[in-house]
Amino acid sequence: MSDLEEEEDGAESVVSGCQSMKSDRSRDYPHNFSKEPGPSDTKKRERSDVCEEDQPSCCALCQDVLKDPVSTSCGHWFCRQCITSYWDQSASSGDSCCPQCGERSRTMYVVKYKQKISVKGTYERVTEGADQTGSGSLLNRIFTALYITDELSEEVNTQHEVRQLETASKMKTLHDSPIKCSNIFKALPDQQKQIRVVMMISVAGVGKTFSVQKFCLDWAEGLENQDVDLVIPLSFRELNLIRDEQYSLLELLRVFHPTLQEVTAEQLAGSKVLFIFDGLDESRLYLDFNKRKVVSDVTQKSSVNVLLTNLIQGKLLPLALIWITSRPAAANQIPPACVDRVTEVRGFTDDQKEEYFRKRVSDEELSSRIISHMETSRSLHIMCLIPVFCWITATVLDHMLTTDQRGELPKTLTDMYSHFLLVQTKRKKQKYAEGHETSPQELTEADREVLLKLGRLAFEQLQKGNIMFYQEDLERCGLDVTEASMYSGVCSEIFKRESVIFQKTVYCFVHLSVQEFLAAVYMFHCYTNRNSEVLKDFLGEDFLGPDIKHRDSNPKTFLKKISKYFVKKDDILPIQDYPSLDVFLKRAMKKSLRSKNGHLDLFVRFLHGLSLESNQRLLGGLLGQTDNSPEIIQSAINNLKKMKKTNISTDRSINIFHCLTEMNDHSVHQEIQEFLKSDNKSKKRLSVIHCSALAYMQQMSEEVLDKLYLKNYNTSREGRLRLIPVVRNCRKALEVQILGSCGLSEISCASLASALTSNPSHLRELDMWGNRNLNDSGVKLLCAGLGSPNCKLETLRLESCGLSDISCASLASALKYNPSHLRALDLGDNEKLKDSGVKLLCGFLESPNCRLETLILYNCGLSEISCAPLASALNSNPSHLRELDLRGNNLKESDVKQLCDLKESPDWRLETLQWRCPDDPERLKQQQHL
Ligand SMILES: Nc1ncnc2c1ncn2[C@@H]1O[C@H](COP(=O)(O)OP(=O)(O)OP(=O)(O)O)[C@@H](O)[C@H]1O
- CATH code for residues 736-927: 3.80.10.10
Is the CB of residue 691 below 6 angstroms from any atom belonging to ligand 1?
A: no
pLDDT of residue 612: 93
Report how far residue 310's alpha carbon sits from residue 304's, in angstroms, rounded to the nearest whole number: 10
Q: What pLDDT does 877 receive?
A: 66
Residue 208 amino acid letter? K
In DSSP notation, 75-122 reads S-EEEHHHHHHHHHHTGGG---B-TTT-PBP-SHHHHHHHHHHHHHHH
Topology at the third CATH level for domain 118-347: Rossmann fold (3.40.50)
Q: DSSP letter at 49?
A: H
Question: What is the average per-residue pLDDT within 411-420?
Answer: 91
The model's confidence at residue 134, banded by pLDDT at 50, 70 and 90, is low
Q: Compute the distance from residue 386 Cα to the ligand 1 centre, in Å.
A: 8
Q: Per mean pLDDT, which of 132-136, 314-318, 382-386, 482-486 is the most reliable?
A: 314-318
281-290, 326-335, 440-449, 476-485 — which is least confidently predicted?
440-449
Predicted confidence (pLDDT) at residue 476 exceeds the cutoff of 80: yes
How far apart are the CA of 212 and the centre of ligand 1, in A? 10
The pLDDT-based confidence of 490 (bands split at 50, 70, 90) is low
For ligand 1, say whether the CB of 29 is within 6 Å of any of its atoms.
no
Mutate which of 132, 202, 209 for ligand 1 pocket (most atoms within 8 A of beta carbon): 209
> Counting Cβ atoms within 10 Å, is residue 682 exposed (0-12), middle (13-18) or buried (19+)?
exposed
Nearest residue CA, atom 14 of ligand 1? 205
Q: For ligand 1, say whether the CB of 208 is within 6 Å of any of its atoms.
A: yes
What is the DSSP pairing of strand 506-509 with strand 469-470? antiparallel
Q: How many CB atoms lie within 10 A of CB 626?
A: 17
Angle of CA points 505, 508, 510, to nearest 5°? 130
Residues 6+ apart with CB under 8 A from 20: 9, 12, 13, 14, 26
d(CA 918, CA 920): 5
Most confident of 285-294, 352-361, 710-719: 352-361
Q: Give the atom of ligand 1 at the shortest distance from the alpha carbon of 281.
A: 25
Q: What is the structure's pLDDT at 572?
A: 44
Q: Is 204 in the pocket of ligand 1 (CB under 6 A)?
A: yes
Out of 13-17, 407-411, 651-655, 837-841, pick the least confident.
13-17
Q: Is 142 in the pocket of ligand 1 (CB under 6 A)?
A: yes
Tens-digit pLDDT profile for residues 22-61: 222 222 222 222 222 232 333 333 333 334 446 678 888 8
In total, the chain counts a number of residues equal to: 930
pLDDT computed for residue 93 by the predictor = 53
Identify the burial level of 404 via C-beta atoms within 10 angstroms of its C-beta, where 0-12 means exposed, 13-18 middle and 19 or more buried. Answer: exposed
How would residue 355 be classed by pLDDT, with cut points 50, 70 and 90? very high
Residues 722-741: tens digit of each pLDDT: 887 777 666 543 333 445 55
DSSP codes of every residue in 857-888? -TTS---GGGHHHHHHHHTSTT----EEE-TT
ipTM rounded to 2 decimals? 0.99
| Choice among 406-410, 625-629, 841-845 with the minimum mean pLDDT | 406-410
**What is the spatial distance between Cα 707 and Cα 729, in angstroms, rounded to a whole number?**
10
Reported as a pLDDT band with limits 50, 70 and 90, residue 758 is: low
> What is the rounded distance in angstroms from the CA atom of residue 162 to the CA atom of residue 765?
30
Pick the CATH number of 57-105 from 3.40.50.10950, 3.40.50.300, 3.30.40.10, 3.30.365.10: 3.30.40.10
Q: Decide: 347 in ligand 1 pocket, CB within 6 A.
A: no
pLDDT value of position 470: 80
Task: Quickly state the pLDDT bin for 283 (edges 50, 70, 90).
Answer: confident
Q: What is the pLDDT of residue 904?
A: 67
DSSP 3-state assignment of 361? coil
Q: What is the pLDDT of residues 53-102, one digit of tens each?
A: 466 788 888 888 888 777 666 677 888 778 777 776 665 554 567 777 77
For residue range 135-192, list pLDDT tens digits in order. 678 899 999 999 888 765 443 333 344 444 444 444 444 445 788 999 999 987 777 7
Ligand 1 centroid to Cα of residue 732, in Å, is: 34
Nearest residue CA, atom 26 of ligand 1? 204
**Mean of per-residue pLDDT scores for the chain:** 76
Cβ atoms 687, 719 nearer than 8 A: yes
Beta bridge partners of 232: 275
Q: What's the pLDDT tens digit per position in 739-754?
A: 555 556 666 677 677 7
pTM here? 0.68
Per-residue CA distances from 611 to 418, 451, 457, 623, 663 (Å): 12, 18, 21, 9, 8
Q: Which span out of 213-227, 338-352, 771-785 was modeled with the highest average pLDDT?
A: 213-227
pLDDT at 633 over 70: yes
